[in-house]
Chains A and B, each alone.
Chain A
Amino acid sequence: DADVTQTPRNRITKTGKRIMLECSQTKGHDRMYWYRQDPGLGLRLIYYSFDVKDINKGEISDGYSVSRQAQAKFSLSLESAIPNQTALYFCATAPGGSENIQYFGAGTRLSVL
């Protein structure tokens, strides 16, 4: 079983719809992240959380919200999807400590029509 699991793996939705992407982990890490990836732009940070009561905006948080329901779960919502939110979305987790290496889920490919 994967340590960092994202659901769904693929999703097609329409402009204006609310959609939630889910991430769960069995690594026991406190830190969780949401990124989006667009061709040629690399990974860009949307939101991150260092524990259940901690939520922080990343580089491109507009149009997104998150919920940290438990240490192991971190959900990303698009309140009203728009076509330029079509992208590959990755969840990542990391332990604390000096190295703080991030481990990524398999990704969710989202298309907004």
Chain B
Amino acid sequence: GQNIDQPTEMTATEGAIVQINCTYQTSGFNGLFWYQQHAGEAPTFLSYNVLDGLEEKGRFSSFLSRSKGYSYLLLKELQMKDSASYLCAVRRANAGNMLTFGGGTRLMVKP
């Protein structure tokens, strides 16, 4: 089976940096995705890692270590609109490339 763990909630201050961790145990790993979901809305794609290292996209960066089963999403220069849930999802090649999602991390950004 697979297990994906991420913190349930985090709080950070506007303008600061926050790191959201995701650990996973899975067979057939074939990529890790991060999605952002505002309350009651659709998840929207943020980033994708399949090789070890850091992927940077503006204020958001995502890191992957396959040997450690670990990823993080880094959000810089936090804005109030970044208050949302952040979903970590693992894709498995031995399961039709399906995504398995973690429970999500609810981030609250305070002024």
In the complex with contacts A90-B43, A101-B45, A42-B87 CB distance below 8 A: yes
Residue from B44, B87, B97 having most chain A Cβ neighbours under 10 A: B97
| A44 CA / B96 CA spacing, docked (Å) | 15
The reply on B103 being an interface residue by CB < 8 A is yes
The B interface, classified by DSSP as helix, strand, loop or mixed, is strand
In the complex with contacts A56-B96, A101-B48, A42-B101 CB distance below 8 A: yes
Q: Give B73 Cβ to nearest chain A Cβ, in Å.
A: 15
> Is A48 touching B98 in the complex (CB atoms < 8 A)?
yes
In the complex with contacts A56-B96, A100-B91, A43-B42 CB distance below 8 A: no
Which A residues form the contact surface with B (CB < 8 A)? 4, 40-45, 48, 56, 58-59, 88, 90, 98-107, 109
